[in-house]
Amino acid sequence: MRQEYLVPAQDFSVAGLASSNLKRLLKQLNIPPSLIKRIIVAVFEAEINVIAHSYGGRIICDLGEEEIRIEVIDTGPGIADLELAMTEGWSTASEKVRELGYGAGMGLPNIRKSCDHLSISTKAGDHTHISMTFSVKEGA
């Protein structure tokens, strides 16, 4: 099963909408609550990053019996230094984003902690593509 969610740029009024809709779907599919929690933490963090730092993007969820794969693809401007961006507490969030309570520099580190496998493709001046996988198998 595939679900896709569009994520606008700079519109925090819809922050969390995609991850909330995905959470509802995962519950309907009887995914274990502990796995739902990890997936939603990662998707919410990615969703906020798209809103705060990009020109908009989309979240594509492929829900299989053994694996859930989430792709988050934005339209730019990319991450200049991915290694630095993976550092807890490091952020390029604007003052406006910080005033809204976001931009603490925990997005990518929290995504990394939540996934079974994470791949990020990005470069400055281009888009960012985050690929997350989660095993549905018991005990994985």
Q: Could you give the domains of the chain?
A: 2-135 (3.30.565.10)
Can you read off the two tokens belonging to residue 46? Answer: 């990615």
Q: Which residues of the chain have pLDDT under 50?
A: 140
Determine the pLDDT at residue 138. Answer: 62
Q: Pinpoint the alpha helices (H) of the chain.
A: 17-28, 33-53, 82-85, 95-99, 107-114
3-state DSSP assignment of residue 135: strand
3 half-sphere exposure, CB direction, 13 A CA radius: 17
Adjacent-strand bridge partners of 4: 60
* Contact partners, residue 124, CB within 8 Å, separation at least 6: 77, 78, 79, 80
